[in-house]
């Protein structure tokens, strides 16, 4: 479960999330914003991963803290794997980080030694530290992230306006939306995830290989347009080599005309990322419905205990409200899956309605396609 409203010294920084998620409602909508732009250059957006644990100093996995600039986590993983001449699957990471940013995170490399990293020359990547540990780093093995965000071109009254907004958020909580970076450059990662969960392979490849987006380079737009027109071979010839996952899947599709085989050619980690985006979209929908009563518990809510990182179902909302007022606990929203903690009462009804509207069931998230 992800907490719907979290407030502490770190999450207050999400005040500037108003600029990142323009299509979602927010608590400060009636207060003038600060104006400006973020991510003018990668250095304007800095993210530092907070590890769940520190490496122990021995074991077959090398935990490497990297700083990357202007590239996605998967791109960084593939570049490091290429330099080390290893399979990218030997590299683990706790979470994806923004491409249009400077980010610092830890990866694990199976069987690597510190001396192999000293001369690593991978564009956009700098090695900060390396230490060995017993197990591979997996998704979710992090406490959170710290953000430093520079906003350029703010209004003259920005300081005063920010203080007003900050006061409100410190009293009511910060809506913990998943931001636009979760949904990819073309903002359709959730649609790809939904197609995977529903087992709709034609829809998946329609989204994965078609639908040109103006934010992409002209070559990618031309290739996608050719695919949309039904010219798969032409699309393959046009496809930029930098979009390796799409190109590999399309090549398999052209050769075999077998969508299932083409899907197997797509990296499982990328497919899980798409499913995660779909889960995030459903979470955002439920959070939007709850926004007006964000700080009020409901009987049947799943509540998140901030200090422990644990969740429980609220049996008596009135009895627990004082803990929510003190931000000891917050109502939490679901990341749907076969193991998620089901809410009850009205909250449970809203969750069920969200699944029904998306035409999926909890069992679908356990699909073998994933």
Q: What is the pLDDT along the chain (370 residues), one digit of tens a residue?
A: 555 543 332 222 222 333 334 478 888 888 888 999 988 998 999 999 999 999 999 999 999 999 999 998 989 999 999 999 999 999 999 998 988 899 999 999 999 988 888 778 888 999 999 999 999 999 889 988 999 999 999 998 999 999 999 998 888 888 989 988 889 889 999 999 999 999 999 999 999 999 999 989 999 999 999 999 999 999 999 999 889 999 999 999 999 999 999 999 999 989 999 999 999 999 999 999 999 888 899 999 999 998 888 899 999 999 999 999 999 999 999 999 888 899 999 999 999 999 999 999 999 988 555 5
The candidate with the shortest Cα–Cα distance to 278, out of 364, 202, 213, is 364
Tokens of 290: 């709850």
Cα(102)–Cα(46) distance, integer angstroms = 5
**Domain boundaries defined on the chain:** 2-38+151-177, 44-144, 183-269, 277-366
Topology (CATH level 3) of domain 183-269:
Hypothetical Protein Yqey; Chain: A; domain1 (1.10.1510)
* CATH code for the domain defined by 277-366: 3.30.2350.20
* CATH code for the domain defined by 44-144: 3.30.2350.20
Three-state DSSP string of the chain = CEECEECCCCHHHHHHHHHHCCCCCCCCCCCCCCEEECCCCHHHEEEEEEECCCCCCCCCEEEEEEEEECCCHHHHHHHHHHHHCCCHHHEEECCCCCCCCEEEEEEEEECCCHHHHHCCCCCCEEEEEEEEECCCCCCCCEEEEEEEECCEEECCCHHHHHHHHHHHHHHHCEECCCCHHHHCCCCCHHHHHHHHHHCCHHHHHHHHHCCCCCCCCHHHHHHHHHHHCCCHHHHHHHCCCCCHHHHHHHHHHHHHCCHHHHHHCCCHHHHHHHHHHHHHHHHHHHHHHHHHHCCCCCCCCEEEECCCCEEEECCCHHHHHHHHHCCCEEEEECCCCCCCCCCCHHHHHHHHHHHHHCCCCHHHHHCCCC
pTM over 0.85: no
Give residue 19's pLDDT: 34
Give residue 9's pLDDT: 29
Question: Does 44-144 match 183-269 in CATH topology?
Answer: no
Give residue 212's pLDDT: 95
- Residues marked as catalytic: 98
């Amino acid at each position: 479960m992800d907490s719907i409203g979290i407030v502490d010294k770190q999450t207050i920084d999400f005040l500037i999330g108003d600029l990142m998620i323009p299509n979602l409602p927010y608590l400060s909508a009636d207060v003038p914003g600060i104006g400006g732009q973020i991510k003018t250059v990668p250095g304007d957006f800095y993210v530092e991963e907070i590890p769940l644990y520190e490496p122990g100093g021995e074991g077959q996995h090398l935990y490497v803290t990297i700083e990357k600039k202007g590239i996605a986590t998967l791109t960084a993983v593939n570049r490091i794997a290429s330099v080390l001449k290893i399979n990218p699957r030997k590299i683990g990471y706790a979470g994806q980080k923004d491409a249009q940013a400077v980010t610092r995170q830890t990866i694990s490399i199976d069987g690597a030694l510190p001396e192999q990293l000293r001369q690593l020359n991978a564009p956009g990547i700098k090695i900060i530290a390396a230490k060995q540990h017993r197990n591979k780093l997996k998704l979710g093995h992090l406490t959170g992230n710290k953000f430093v965000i520079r906003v350029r071109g703010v209004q003259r009254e920005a300081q005063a306006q920010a203080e007003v907004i900050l006061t409100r958020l410190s009293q009511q909580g910060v809506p913990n939306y998943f931001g636009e970076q979760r949904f990819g450059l073309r903002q359709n990662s959730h649609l790809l995830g939904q197609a995977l969960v529903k087992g709709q392979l034609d829809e998946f490849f329609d989204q994965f290989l078609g639908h040109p987006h103006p934010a992409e380079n002209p070559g990618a737009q031309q290739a996608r347009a050719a695919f949309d027109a039904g010219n798969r071979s032409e699309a393959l010839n046009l496809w930029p080599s930098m979009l390796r996952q799409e190109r590999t899947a399309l090549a398999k599709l052209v050769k075999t005309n077998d969508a299932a085989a083409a899907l197997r050619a797509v990296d499982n980690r990328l497919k899980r990322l798409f499913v995660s985006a779909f889960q995030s979209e459903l979470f955002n929908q439920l959070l939007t419905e709850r926004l007006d009563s964000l700080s009020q518990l409901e009987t049947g809510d799943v509540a998140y205990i901030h200090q422990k990182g644990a969740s429980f179902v609220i049996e008596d909302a009135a009895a627990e409200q004082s803990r929510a007022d003190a931000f000891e606990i917050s109502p939490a929203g679901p990341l749907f899956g076969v193991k998620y903690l089901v809410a009850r009462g009205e909250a449970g009804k809203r969750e069920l309605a969200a699944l029904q509207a998306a035409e999926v069931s909890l069992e679908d998230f356990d699909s073998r396609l994933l």
